[in-house]
Amino acid sequence: MRPIAFSRTAAAVCVLLAAAALSVLAQPAQNASPAQQAIGKRGGTLTVALRSEPKTLNPALATDQSSQDVIYCMNADLIHINRLSQRTEPDLAESWTVSRDGKAYTLHLRRGLRFSDGQPFTADDVVFSFRVYLDDKVGSPQRDLLIIGGKPLSVQKIDSYTVRFVLSQPYAAAERLFDGFPILPRHLLERAYRSGDFSKSWTVSSAPSQLAGMGPFRLAEYVPGQRIVLDRNPYYWKRDGAGQQLPYLDKLVFLFVPSEDAQVIRFLSGDTDVLSRFSSENYSVLKAQAAVKRFHLDDLGPSLEYNFLFFNLNDLRGKNLPQIAEKQSWFRDLPFRQAVSQAIDRTAIVRLVYQGRAAALAAQVTPGNKLWLDPAIQPPVQSIDRARQLLKSAGFSWRSDGSLVDSRGKSVEFSILTSSSNAQRTKIATLIQSDLSALGMNVHVVSLDFGAMVDRLLNSFDYEAAIMGLADGDADPNTEMNVWLSSGGMHIWHLNETGPANPWESDLDHLMNQQLVTLDYAKRRRLYDQVQQIVARQLPIICLASPDVLVGAKDRVGNFSPAILEPYVLWNVDRIYGH
């Protein structure tokens, strides 16, 4: 058995970043309007490579990126987030009203729309869809987004074209929730749902006639291991500025190309028309050939992914990990974490790991997230002197051979865990290892397979420090609740907390809960700025860098307007056309 270097395939496996296109974000009025989309020409085929085969075509079950990418092209939601403007826009719901208390949303559906099999779309489909998403027996990964304030939201049909959603408490920017909940056809799925077979329906090998969606494309053919072909949905309701029915393309072909390098090479050879999710190294290699081979590459700037180092601050009582528990006295020491942060050369990470196509970070919000970034917080500049002062102030000292010891004379030695499926993070760890050796710390880089790493982080707590990355499909703070609340399931540095362990964690709890129910963007933003300041000051996680979103397309692809929200290049697939 000798599998291989599709290191970043594996990264895709890491659902860390598998952020769906589900989401939430306040609605800022000041944002730019979407780029003007040109009137295109009908016809043609667009070929795209997927890193892995889609596992399912069922929108309520998909957890992996490939499935979500395909499902995105076949389905539509009630309210949609324009990936470029990051604002919501009406989709299947043509308008909506919010009750004064901010708890009830009444959505008015477009009339006369049809699913891709020609059956009409009504409020029954909407009610059915949300019943499915909310059913805990279905186990939809989106389900938790609909549980607000501990209670599921309720859905009510007012008439055939009006639906009311009621929340148990006000929820900031709730209309953004609807993106990521594609509407399912009741007439095709209800029987399976009632008989308990829902999880077996709409697999990749289902017959095309069994599937229908409201998106621009529908299933035409699936060849196991090779490709999935979609063709135009003849009932798609959108039209371009000239009144021409969308989508422009006749066909959309997804090839399964399981390694990044193979994807890059096949893009070069002209087999595929667009390219995304590739490394900055490959970007440089491709760039050299762009003019000759008639394609172009775009660096969209920092993504929403933030990579960070964190220490194990978990409560280890009852865990029988005495050595780690002993080291926690350093990790819990703020000057120690500050010294580590201060000693890390973030510019070297940006330069050596990402070839400059990344941004150094001070806190979790990346410069790509313009609406929520607190520009007052600057990423720290490496200063070994300052780091040494911090350590000295906390009672650390140095032996004659330069190694660091704590006040009890114990050598400072710890390991940093990374996932071997992510080459970049292992590289970051290696740079940090070298940086920290300048402080006299003896750091080991341990890269484990993803399963083993997650097991240590979430279950056994048998680790000292780790590097991880997180990203959301949208830029809204609400999607980060699980990370920052002390009770959150992704409160990664200290899980299963019974209550906030210290004052700043209780401040974080308070601020996050507050922003959740604050409906005014400016106020929310001030609250979230404070969250970032606390993160930058207290360093529960030491934020490092955010890689840029890199994409490429052949020159002949029209209306190519990639965005930093997933799916980067196919979000406007209904308007993409071939010259």
Partner 1 sequence: MKFLGRRLLHSGVILLAISFFAFLLLRSAPGDYFDAMRMNPRVSAETVENLRAQYGMNHSFLVRYADWMGSLAKGDMGISLAYGTPVGPLLWPRARNTLMLTGSAMILSWMLAVPLGVWSAAAKGGWLDRICSLFTSTLLVIPDLLVFLLLLLMAVRTGWLPSGGMTSGNFADLAVWQKAGDLALHFALPALGLAIVSLPLLLRHVRSAMVEVLDSPFIRAARGHGIPRSRILWRFALPAASNPLISLFGLSIATMLSASLIVEVILSWPGLGPLIIQAILSRDLNVVIGVVMLSSVFLIAGNLIADVLLFVSDPRIRVE
Partner 2 sequence: MNRRYTFWGVVILLAAFHLVILSAGFFSPYSYSEQHRDLPYAPPSRIHFIDSQGHFHVRPFVYGWKYDAHSPGSYVADLATPYPVHVFAFGSAYKIAGLIPSRIHLFGVDPPGSIFLMGTDGYGRDQFTRFLYGGQISLAAGLIAAALSLALGLVVGSIAGFYGGWLDNALMRGGDVFMALPWLYLLFAVRAALPLHVPQGQIFLLIVAVIGLIGWARPARLIRGVVLSAKERNFVLAARGFGASDFHLLRRHILPRTYNIVLTQMTLLIPQYILAEVTLSFLGLGIGQPLPSWGSLLSALQEYYVLASYWWMYLPAILLVPVFLAYSQIANALQELFSPVAL
In degrees and rounded to multiples of 5, residue 491 shows phi and psi of -75, 70
Q: Quick one: tokens of 152?
A: 């599921």
When the beta carbons of 113 and 417 are compared against partner 1, the nearer one is 417
- Interacting span for partner 1 (CB under 8 A) from 231-239, 317-325, 472-480, 561-569: 472-480
**Sequence-distant (≥ 6) Cβ neighbours of residue 551 within 8 angstroms:** 274, 275, 276, 297, 298, 300, 562, 568, 569
Binding mask 304-323 for partner 2 (x = CB under 8 A): -------------------x
Among 47, 88, 303, 419, binds partner 2 (CB under 8 A): 419
The least CB distance from residue 72 to partner 2, in Å, is 28
Dihedral, CA of residue 136, residue 139, residue 142 and residue 145, to nearest 10: 30
Antiparallel, parallel or unpaired: β 465-470 and 306-311? antiparallel
321 vs 511, beta carbon nearer partner 2: 321
Select from 223, 104, 217 the least CA-distant residue to 167.
104
Is residue 129 a contact point for partner 2 (CB under 8 A)?
no
Q: Which amino acid does the sequence have at 381?
A: V
37: tokens are 């989309």
56 lines the binding site for partner 1 (CB under 8 A): yes
Residue 366 sits in the site that holds partner 1 (CB under 8 A) = no
CB nearer to partner 1: pick between 405 and 448: 448
Partner touching 145 among partner 1, partner 2, none, CB below 5 to 8 Å by kind: partner 1
Q: What is the footprint of partner 2 within residues 213-232 (CB under 8 A)?
A: none
Number of residues counted as binding partner 1 (CB under 8 A): 80
Instruction: Give the residue, chosen from 37, 52, 119, 154, that forms a contact with partner 1 under the rule CB under 8 A.
Output: 52
Task: Please identify, among the stretches 69-77, 350-358, 467-475, 499-507, the one whose residues bind partner 2 according to the rule CB under 8 A.
Answer: 350-358
Binding mask 435-464 for partner 1 (x = CB under 8 A): --------------xxxxxxxx-xxx----
Using an 8 Å Cβ cutoff, are 140 and 60 in contact? yes
Binding residues for partner 2, rule CB under 8 A, total: 49
Q: Among 54-62, 74-82, 273-281, 340-348, which window interacts with partner 1 (CB under 8 A)?
A: 54-62
Interactions with partner 2, residue window 266-305 (CB under 8 A): 279, 281-282, 284-285
Q: Is 61 in the site for partner 1 (CB under 8 A)?
A: yes
Whole-angstrom Cα distance, residue 293 to residue 211? 38
Given the rule CB under 8 A, which of 56-64, 172-180, 412-420, 548-556 is the region that contacts partner 2? Answer: 412-420
C-beta separation of 482 from 444 below 8 A: no
Question: Residues 134, 300, 352, 371: which binds partner 2 (CB under 8 A)?
Answer: 352
167 in Cβ contact with 174 (< 8 Å): yes
The CA radius of gyration of the chain, in Å to the nearest whole number, is: 25
- Using CB under 8 A as the binding rule, the residues of this chain from 94 to 113 that contact partner 1 are none
Judged by beta carbon distances under 5 to 8 A according to partner kind, the member of partner 2, partner 1, none in contact with residue 447 is partner 2
Query: Which of partner 2, partner 1, none does residue 348 bind (CB under 5 to 8 Å by kind)?
Result: partner 2
* Strand-strand pairing, 151-152 and 147-148: antiparallel
If one asks whether residue 64 binds partner 1 (CB under 8 A), the answer comes out as yes
- 479 touches partner 1 (CB under 8 A): yes
Which run of H or of E encompasses 481?
helix 481-484
514 binds partner 1 (CB under 8 A): no
Identify which of 149, 148, 127, 131 has the alpha carbon closest to the alpha carbon of residue 140. 131
Candidate residues 89, 144, 159, 555; the one interacting with partner 1 per rule CB under 8 A: 144
Ranges within 413-432 binding partner 1 (CB under 8 A): 421
Residue 63 in the binding site for partner 1 (CB under 8 A): yes
Q: What character string, x for contact with partner 2 (CB under 8 A) and - otherwise, covers 427-466?
A: x-xxx-xx---------xxxxxxxxxx-xx-----xxx--
Spell out the long-range contacts of 392-401 with Cβ–Cβ below 8 A and sequence spacing 24 or more: 393/335, 394/333, 394/335, 394/336, 394/339, 396/336, 398/440, 399/440
Q: How near is the Cβ of 358 to partner 2 at its closest, in Å?
A: 14
Contacts 24+ apart (CB under 8 A), 269-273: 270/554, 271/47, 271/49, 272/47, 272/48, 272/49, 273/46, 273/47, 273/48, 273/553, 273/554, 273/556, 273/557
Residues in 209-268 at the binding interface with partner 1, rule: CB under 8 A: 223-227, 229, 253, 255-259, 261-262, 265-266, 268
Residue 160: how many other CB atoms lie within 10 Å: 13
| Identity of residue 157 | K
The answer to the question of residue 382 lying near partner 2 (CB under 8 A) is no
When CB distances are held under 5 to 8 angstroms depending on the partner's kind, the choice from partner 2, partner 1, none that residue 9 binds is: partner 1
307 contacts partner 1 (rule: CB under 8 A): no
Stretch that binds partner 1, among 45-53, 122-130, 239-247, 342-350 (CB under 8 A): 45-53
User: What's the first-to-final CA gap in the chain, in angstroms?
Assistant: 45
Render 345-372 in DSSP notation, one character per residue: -HHHIIIIIHTT-EEE-SSSS-TT-TTT
3-state helix, strand, coil in the chain (%, to 5): 30, 20, 45
| Interface residue with partner 2, options 190, 261, 299, 507 (CB under 8 A) | 261
Alpha helices in 376-466 (DSSP H): 384-393, 423-437, 450-454
Residues in contact with partner 2 by the rule CB under 8 A = 1-5, 7, 260-261, 264-265, 279, 281-282, 284-285, 323, 345, 348, 351-352, 355, 413, 415, 417, 419-421, 426-427, 429-431, 433-434, 444-453, 455-456, 462-464
